[in-house]
Each structure stands twice: as structure tokens, then as C-alpha cells.
Copies of this chain bind each other. A is one copy, B any other.
């Protein structure tokens, strides 16, 4: 099937309409929180606050910046592993996140920061908007290479909406805890994305299979993403925890869990290869599973060794998933999951949700102290009858709800995206930047060593005419460089 991929009007108009709507809604609804408002001096006076440091900004901003780096640098570069889709990976991630954070500020604002008809905007909002968009970046991983930027913006619009509803029900109605978002971000994001890609199943995707792998340098670019996600994940899981010990503990647990998942990933990656070689895909992804796995429980008293165990298990299951589950999902269930988000966010997200539920259910006043458990679980007040068992049940209910929302929402959004006029690429042109990007010619320069260092440029550009359909593409067998084909003249040239 050949769709029209010229986005000249569709993409600009989509961007324009969305951005104008944002401006109008921000104009009507969004104002600075008192901590970011010129009236902060008054607030300080009124509440007898002696130091500007008590402004929420100083508690949260360093964590925010790390989360921001994860969303834009981390997710963006993680997806550059494809040999010919780097521009789109990092560029479309940039686009969807830049739109998504605006829409998330509104949606989450209406649900959670609405005071007297106004959304009050402070540093917490922008952290939570980044969180929400992280779940969109997760879903993007499943459809990477197969949908157009217009489809991405539409998916982001709906996913942010659903995320905010789901989050509101979880955190405010059933009062589940989910500091690092194992349920709301990872489980929801992963199964939403998987459902969408299931609906968008492409039977003939093997026509662009040759581009669905990495090359040497694209794998290194992806490692930039991996490492920035890995190092800043402790900030992610602690960014909106309670001040003091909760933030502190969330960092420690995440740090430990991530460390353990690196070792189990390496172990499993090596043992499943017949020569014991490591696979970059595993190192790039499964090493992060530990961060997902302690998402819900990071701020809880899971103990340091508990965090290690969680990380170890998540790394193991995630790597096994890449090796055995993903091929199965694609061949049997027709789920084409480009980045393997089921292994990095789906499985560890569910593990993390269950760990959180169990930890909550067995949290004990012996550990927390009574005021501690009241404080950290928000019991007390109207919740005097609330028990830790009820908390555990509420966590499990939160997980099930996230899954349900993801499935139902994913089906609906998938069907919308299946419409033929969004500029999606044909099966044989998937995973290819040049469909949506102006690609400059590649000058394959030759370098002259030593003193003769001024370059003699030898651009290698062909003008092979456009090959419109896969049937016209000749089957390209592995070809050696010509120098090997005709060794004599080239060798003689050198001397």
C-alpha cells in the first residue's frame, strides 16, 4: 500500500492548531503558583517563612532537571539505535514531548492543581508533565519507525488525556501510591503503545527489515540515551516524593536496583548466546529495568537488599523478554514492538506494581513508627480506618486499572491512527529518515595520513533513480567492496 507521505500541509496545520489551542487554554486557565508569583513575598510574610530556600523550587529543581534530561536526551537518543532513523528518533521524540508537556500541564492541572477556576503552575507541575510525557515516549518506542509525526501528535494528545484520567483515579480516588510511576507511567505507557502497534500491524514489514537493525555508531548514540536514563533514574523516582527521608530513600533504592539489573542483564545476555557474546540491545535496555521495577516502591521501606533483589529480577526477566518473548509476540500475537518496550517497561512495570503492593501491604509500624506510617502513607484524618492491607489492595486495583485503560485507550487510538490519511510510510519505507527529513548528501571523504593532511575529497554520490516499490528493489546480496573484487589495480595504486 502506498500512502502519500508529503506532510507539507498536514503537519504544519496540526502543529499550529494544537499550539493555538494551548495558548488559548493557558490564557484562560493557567497562572503562577504563589511560590512562583510576585506575591511570594506576601506569602512568606503570611506564613512566617524565614528563608527563600523553603520555596518548593529549591527542593525539586535539581531533580526536575535530571528528569528533563531523561525525557529529551535519554529517550531521544535511546531510540537512535536504528541505522537510518536517528533524525526521526531524536527529532520526533523532541516534538511529541514538547507538545505533550503543554497538554499535560493542562490535563493534570485540571485534575490536580485546580483552585478557584485556575490551574496554579509551579515546579511540581512541570515535573509531573515530564512524567506524563515519559509514558508517551515509552509508547513511541513500540511504533518507532512506523508512524508519521502527525500520527505521533495525535497519539500524544490522546495518551496524555488518558494518562491524566488514569493518574487522577489512581492517586486521588483510590489513593494508590506511585512515586516513580511503575503503574501510571511504565505499565500504562507500555501496554498503551503495544496495543496501538497491535492495531497498526503491518503484514509486510519485513520489506524494511534491513533497516530495522543497528550499525556500529548508531549503537553508540543509543548508549548516550541509555546512560543518561540510567544515571538520572534515581532523580526520576524521587522527584515528587515527600521532602526529607522519602526523597533520600527513593534515590538509594533506585541506585541499588539499577546497579543489580546491570549485572543480571550481562549475565543473561551472555548465557543465551551460543558463543557467550553480549548483545547491545540488552545492554541498552534491560539495564534500565531496575529503575522501572522500583518505581512504585522506591520511597517505601523495601530495604537496600530488597532493592537489589528487585533490580536483579527485572534485569533478568527483561533480557529474557528481548531474547524469547519479543519474537513470539511478533510472530504469534502480531505485536511489532520496535524498541522492545514490553521488556523494558511492560514486564518490569508489572513487577514494580506488585512489589509496591506487597511492600505497602506488609508495611509495619515497627518499621515506620506510627507517625511515620501515617505520614508516608497519608493515613490519618478521614483515613483513620484505612489499613495497610487496604493500601495493598488499592495498589493492585491501580495496576489493573492502568492495564484496562491502556488496552481500551490503545484500541481506540490505534483505530484512529489506522485511517489512511495521516502520512504514514509504506511498509518498504519504514525505519527510514528520508521519508520525513531532508537528508544531505553523504561525502565519503578519504583521509590522507601524516603530513599530507589536506583532504582530497571524493564524494561518493549516486543518482540512482527513485525505486518506488519493493518489487522493483533488486535483492541485494552482501557485496564486498570493489577493492576486494579487483584487488590488483587498487593495490598497485598505493605504492
Contacts and interface: CB of A to CB of B under 8 A. Distances in A.
Interface stretch (A35-43, A183-191, A326-334, A378-386): A35-43
A308 B102 contact: yes
A397 to B, nearest CB: 24
Contacts of A371: 41-42
A230 B93 CA distance: 13
A464 interface: yes
Given A372-B39, A466-B452, A260 B483 contact: no
B243 A52 contact: yes
Interface stretch (A67-75, A162-170, A402-410): A67-75
Given A38-B376, A462-B456, A248 B99 contact: no
A213 B22 contact: no
Interface in A41-74: 41-42, 44, 51-59, 61-63, 65-66, 68-69, 72-73
Interface residues of A, number: 188
Contact of A277 (B227, B438, B481): B438
A244 B57 contact: yes
A90 interface: yes
A461 interface: yes
A192 to B, nearest CB: 22
Interface in A366-407: 367-369, 371-373, 375-376
A50 B44 CA distance: 16
A68 B65 CA distance: 14
A31 B245 CA distance: 13
Contacts of A102: 256, 259-260, 308
B467 A454 contact: yes
A305 B217 contact: no
Interface string A473-492: 11011111111111101110
Contacts of A65: 62, 66, 231-232, 234-235
B216 A447 contact: yes
Contact of A15 (B72, B266, B277): B266
A455 interface: yes
Contacts of A42: 369, 371-372
A1 interface: no
B32 A252 contact: yes
Interface string A15-37: 11011001110110011100111
A116 interface: no
Contacts of A23: 260, 305, 308-309, 312
A52 B244 contact: yes
Given A39-B369, A102-B256, A490 B482 contact: yes
B210 A457 contact: yes
A312 B459 CA distance: 39
B38 A94 contact: no
Interface in A405-429: 429
A154 interface: no
Contacts of A38: 245, 249, 301, 367-369, 372-373, 376
Contact of A435 (B36, B280, B454, B489): B454
A372 B437 contact: no
A86 B216 contact: yes
A159 interface: no
Interface string A435-470: 111111111111111011111111111111111100
B312 A19 contact: yes
A205 interface: no
A315 B317 CA distance: 44
B90 A26 contact: no
A490 B15 CA distance: 44
Contacts of A280: 87, 91, 437-438, 440
Nearest to A100: B259
Nearest to A456: B464
A305 B27 contact: yes
Given A11-B270, A280-B440, 10 more contacts: A22-B308, A35-B244, A41-B375, A58-B59, A68-B231, A72-B227, A98-B260, A211-B443, A460-B483, A463-B494
12 contacts: A15-B266, A19-B267, A30-B304, A32-B301, A44-B244, A51-B54, A213-B443, A215-B443, A278-B438, A279-B438, A454-B467, A484-B493
